[in-house]
Amino acid sequence: MATTTNSLTLTSTDLFDDSLSISNTSTCYKAGTTIGLDQTTGLTRTYLTATTVIDLFPVVKGTTNAVENGKVYIANLSEDETEFVTINIGDAVIGRLYAGDFMWMPWSPRAQHVNDIELAPSVATGMHVEFMAIHNFANIYPTGVDS
Amino acid sequence: MATINATINVASADLTSSPLALSNTMIMTKAGTNTGLEFTSGLVRRKLTATTAIDLVTVGAQMYGTPTASVANKIYIKNTGSSSVDYIDVAIGDKDADAGEELLATGGNSKITLGKLFGGDWMLIPFEGSANNDIIVVPSTAEATTIEWMLFFE
Partner-chain residue, chosen from A16, A34, A70, that has the shortest CB–CB distance to B84: A34
Average pLDDT of every residue of chain B = 93
CATH of residue A60's domain is 2.60.120.10
pTM to 2 decimal places:
0.95
In a domain, A46, yes or no: yes
Cα radius of gyration (chain B): 17
Q: pLDDT-based confidence at A137, cuts 50/70/90?
A: confident
Write out pLDDT tens, residues A69-109: 999 999 999 999 999 999 999 888 999 999 999 999 999 98
In a domain, A87, yes or no: yes
Residue among A89, A92, A107, A119 at smallest CA distance from B94: A92
Give pLDDT, residue B103. 63
Number of separate domains in chain A: 1
Residue among A75, A85, A89, A86 at smallest CA distance from A130: A75
Cβ contact (<8 Å) for A92 and B87?
A: no
- % pLDDT > 70, chain A: 90
In a domain, A61, yes or no: yes
**B151 with B73: CB under 8 angstroms?**
yes
In a domain, A131, yes or no: yes
ipTM of the complex: 0.95
Q: Where are any strands of DSSP class E within B49-86?
A: 54-57, 74-79
State how far residue B42 is from chain A, nearest Cα, in angstroms.
Answer: 9
In a domain, A19, yes or no: no
Cβ contact (<8 Å) for A6 and B10?
A: yes
Write out pLDDT tens, residues B73-125: 999 999 999 999 999 999 998 878 776 677 655 566 788 999 999 999 999 99
Give pLDDT, residue B105. 59
Q: Write out chain B residues lying below 8 Å of A111, CB-based.
A: 101
Q: Which domain holds residue A131?
A: 39-135
Residue among B133, B132, B128 at smallest CA distance from B154: B128
> Residues 79 to 138 of A: which have CB under 8 A from any B CB?
81-82, 84, 87, 89-98, 100-108, 110-111, 113-115, 132, 134
In a domain, A18, yes or no: no
In a domain, A22, yes or no: no
Q: pLDDT-based confidence at A144, cuts 50/70/90?
A: very low
Rounded CA-CA distance B78/B80 in Å is 6
Write out pLDDT tens, residues A14-50: 999 999 999 999 999 999 999 999 999 999 999 999 9
In a domain, A26, yes or no: no
**Region B22-29: what's the mean pLDDT?**
98
